[in-house]
Structure 1
Amino acid sequence: MSKFFSQAEEQKQSEITNQEKEYALPEKEITDKVIGYFTSGNNVARLNMVERGNLDKEKFAEEVKAYIRNRYTSDDDESTARIYKGFSSFIWGYYILDPLIDDPDISDIVIYDADRVYVKKLGIRYKADIVFKDESDYERFVERCSLRNHVSLSMNNSVQKWTDWSNDKYILRFTAVTKLLASNRTTTIQMRKHPKQKKDFDTLIAEGMLTDEMAEIIKQKQAAGEGFLICGKNAGGKTTLINSMIETIPEQYSIFCVQEAEELFSAKERNFGGYHIIDGRGENKINYSLGDMVTAAQTMDIDVIILGEIKGAEARQFLSAAHTGAICYASTHAESVEDAYIRLCDYTRRVSDMTNEEILYMLKSLKNVIFIRKYRLIEMAECIWNPDKKCLDFKYLCKDGKVVH
């Protein structure tokens, strides 16, 4: 008998006869019971020990399997293995979502309630053919998501974002909006997948995001010590492109990369520091913003500053860094290359008393901008300060998805 059980429990288990064991139950129901047993009452402490590293995971797995065999399956090893797989998927994976996560064509998953799970597959949204057993099953899944990622979903933390790197193939970025704010009184969970295996320029060319000539223009500008602003709509390919561009930044440059969701990284050993923010909302009183981190980067021995996404006040510090000589990369939401600069100007005006002319003059330091739409490079341009008109002019290198000659 496993050491997991107390002496009284061992006696109780040993007294269970074959007739009393719940052999007749469907495996899915048994899996549900096993999950309930090990995630409730005093048994939670054992699971917590595994997650804190105080108990070997394999040892815990054997204890769970022993419980399944003794209570439900006896010597049926195949059934025990299937039930444990379901238990393991709930505890260490994402339960019924695991097949969706494993599907390489699915980029986004959103759950509104037990019966409504949607995916974006190859850019098109579908209702998934899976459902949770009931609302309590879904709520238990939400609770497990928060616990395994050490995230509070209390009333004071009703909007939470986090990133999970535990999957072998994907970085999983989550946004949760709790029942306090949801009209259907059920927590919404949005998940976005980013492959851990980066796509290099050759792959992006093969997939049609850009051409050989476009890639060569980008690499030549990187070699010359120039940065880029990448713009486009949500889920258009901005993060994918920046991740590829990180690999072609010259090796001699030191890189400071800060982001809200940890999706950008270096795939090779180099002088690269990755950082994230702490959002002091709800119960959390500690706050380190994107702007704070960009300011910190300017006091360090850094050549390249990468800001995951500009969407507010951090634009001011980012422009300051670019204007003082740092090689800067960032993404932002915009409808065109020119719209991107208008938005950065607007973000900066909201948090400063600078004039449009002063902001635009600083923006000239952010020389290159790329606009992506639906995973395809549509525009690439250089911005040039026009001293007579006191504005920025744009020299297009690519337009309508083609290189300008």
Structure 2
Amino acid sequence: MFNEYKSRQSKKHSNVLKLERHSQVEPPKVAGAQTDPIDVDLQGHLELKSRLHGALLDRLNLSVIDKVERSELKRQIAALASNLIEVEGVHMRSDAFSTLVEELMHEVMGLGPLEPLLADPSINDILVNSYDQVFVERFGLLERTKARFRDERHLLRIIDKIVTKVGRRIDESQPWVDARLEDGSRVNAIIRPCSVDGPALSIRKFSRNPLTMKRLVDQNALDDQAASLLKALVEARLNILISGGTGSGKTTMLNAVSSFIDESQRIVTIEDAAELQLQQEHVVRLETRPPNAEGQGVISQRDLVRNALRMRPDRIIVGEVRGAECFDMLQAMNTGHDGSMTTVHANTARDALSRVEQMVTMLGVDLPIKTIRSQISSAIHIVIQLSRLSDGSRRVISVSEITGMEDDTITLQDIFVYKRRGKSSDGTILGDFLPTGIRPKCFDQLVVAGIDIDPKMFMRKEVRP
């Protein structure tokens, strides 16, 4: 059977398996239950799979593996696995054998034990604490899975497989790395000596169906009135800072808000690891580059922000500001690139402004605090604060407007806020997203921009009992 397949493909490429060593391999004969099957424990199963994987690598023709149909590859792997299992004297039930073959496919074509987790649409994050501890976040809550790696070397091999595909590296001289999967999922990995208990891996999965503003409203992240205000703010080209803690949904909100940008405008995005899902056609995506093995060639976000200013952008979107690039971002917002957006880690809107101020001071230039705050107050118009609540839900906590300066203090006023009412018997947080009764200072700017917005949406409402 294999020789017939090889003959059919000889005009295009050689067989995926190097069959000169095993030309007589027969398809698996495990369709029925074996007599007195020997159950293989978990560690034994992992060791068996590791040996089979090593044998497969010896026989795989990696240069043509991508050209072979998955079904044919699976058939060949099953046949070889059956032969090797028979040599080892291991008996397996047909369902266990099918599972083993599927896992070998994951090892050869994908990321091993992580593949089923990546395929599960209900999982948002995959968190590998060590080779034998794999957690996931599902619906905002953490749970441990049965997935595990054979040992540290197995986990290291998967990490290396991820980072090399995007031209990055991880070793003792550079023991952590930010990368991404082919579908855009964000990856962070860290190894010894910085990770005391062995390699750790975090994957923030890329949503195949981006969360639109409508879906965020349906999930009660905010209400219709706040969503319509955000749409108006984007159309009026006000600069927006999205703030929140880790996992609060900053990138999701940035994607949703940026969907309101006009198709005719040129957008330049800047990220450490590209993960934004902008739907517009005229988008240029820029990504930082870490240093090479010699410590050279690093390209920082600040380099990319400065370069973006020469690319005739209508809007600049920075995935997240973390350092001195914040100063260049403020300069861009103040010099004609209205409608730019970025995110920052902070627990409140006021803290977000303090974080921006601290990042500007990281530039090393001796600027007076009042000058820095003046730059911030004139560059940023709106702060959207997000939070992940104790029940796992992600909410917009406030939409605030920067109104200027009073002495040395940046003045901030809330337009919409999330008011908590308590917790239900099943642990769900109860609350309402309400206007504060303050009409934003930028309302007149929205009217001048020709945006139809109802002033009644800002009228104060009482919290339901």
Specify the TM-score bucket, using the shorter chain as the normaliser. 0.7 to 0.9
What CA distance in whole angstroms lies between the structure 2 residues aligned with 1:83 and 1:339? Answer: 51
- Which residue in 2 is equivalent to 1:238? 250
Query: Where does 1:242-253 land on structure 2 (aligned, <5 Å)?
Result: 242-253=254-265
Residues 366 and 217 of structure 1: is their aligned pair in 2 closer, same or farther, counting only changes over 3 Å?
same
Query: Where does 1:226-375 land on structure 2 (aligned, <5 Å)?
Result: 226-267=238-279, 269-280=280-291, 283-326=294-337, 327-351=339-363, 352-363=365-376, 364-374=378-388, 375=394
Residues 310 and 118 of structure 1: is their aligned pair in 2 closer, same or farther, counting only changes over 3 Å?
same
Asked whether 1:146 is paired with 2:160, we answer yes
What CA distance in whole angstroms lies between the structure 2 residues aligned with 1:101 and 1:187? Answer: 19
Q: TM-score, normalised by structure 1?
A: 0.84
Per-residue deviation, 1:94 = 2.9
Query: Where does 1:41-190 land on structure 2 (aligned, <5 Å)?
Result: 42-43=58-59, 46-47=61-62, 49-50=63-64, 55-56=67-68, 58=70, 60-61=73-74, 63-72=76-85, 82-132=99-149, 134-135=150-151, 138-150=152-164, 151-166=168-183, 171-184=184-197, 186-190=198-202
Per-residue deviation, 1:60 = 4.8
Deviation per CA, 1:160-186: give whole Å up to 9, x if none: 1110024xxxx42211111222222x1
- Give the partner amino acid of 1:147: K
Q: TM-score, normalised by structure 2?
A: 0.74
- The SS at the match of 1:248 is coil
- Greater radius of gyration (CA): 2
- Give the partner amino acid of 1:226: L
What CA distance in whole angstroms lies between the structure 1 residues aligned with 2:83 and 2:145? Answer: 36
Per-residue deviation, 1:282 = 5.1
- Give the partner amino acid of 2:322: K
Per-residue deviation, 1:404 = 2.0
Per-residue deviation, 1:330 = 0.4
Asked whether the 8 Å contact 1:233–1:334 carries over to 2, the reply is: yes
Deviation per CA, 1:94-131: give whole Å up to 9, x if none: 32233333333332222222322222232222332333
What CA distance in whole angstroms lies between the structure 2 residues aligned with 1:82 and 1:119? Answer: 21
- Structure 2 runs not aligned, ≥5 long: 4-14, 88-92, 389-393, 419-432, 438-465
Asked whether 1:392 is paired with 2:441, we answer no
Provide the identity percentage.
19
Asked whether 1:224 is paired with 2:236, we answer yes
Per-residue deviation, 1:259 = 0.6
- Give the partner amino acid of 1:68: A
Asked whether the 8 Å contact 2:267–2:313 carries over to 1, the reply is: yes
- Give the partner amino acid of 1:353: D
Per-residue deviation, 1:313 = 1.3
Per-residue deviation, 1:380 = 1.1
Residues 126 and 50 of structure 1: is their aligned pair in 2 closer, same or farther, counting only changes over 3 Å?
same
- Which residue in 2 is equivalent to 1:381? 400
What CA distance in whole angstroms lies between the structure 2 residues aligned with 1:144 and 1:174? Answer: 12
Asked whether the 8 Å contact 2:160–2:170 carries over to 1, the reply is: yes
What CA distance in whole angstroms lies between the structure 1 residues aligned with 2:283 and 2:383? Answer: 23
Further displaced range: 84-93 or 322-331: 84-93
Asked whether the 8 Å contact 1:156–1:283 carries over to 2, the reply is: no
Asked whether the 8 Å contact 1:157–1:283 carries over to 2, the reply is: no
Asked whether the 8 Å contact 1:260–1:276 carries over to 2, the reply is: yes
- Give the partner amino acid of 1:120: E
Root-mean-square deviation (CA, aligned residues, Å) is 3.0
Residues 92 and 6 of structure 1: is their aligned pair in 2 closer, same or farther, counting only changes over 3 Å?
closer
Per-residue deviation, 1:81 = 5.1
Residues 7 and 217 of structure 1: is their aligned pair in 2 closer, same or farther, counting only changes over 3 Å?
closer
Q: How many residues align?
A: 382
- Structure 1 runs not aligned, ≥5 long: none
Asked whether the 8 Å contact 1:110–1:190 carries over to 2, the reply is: yes
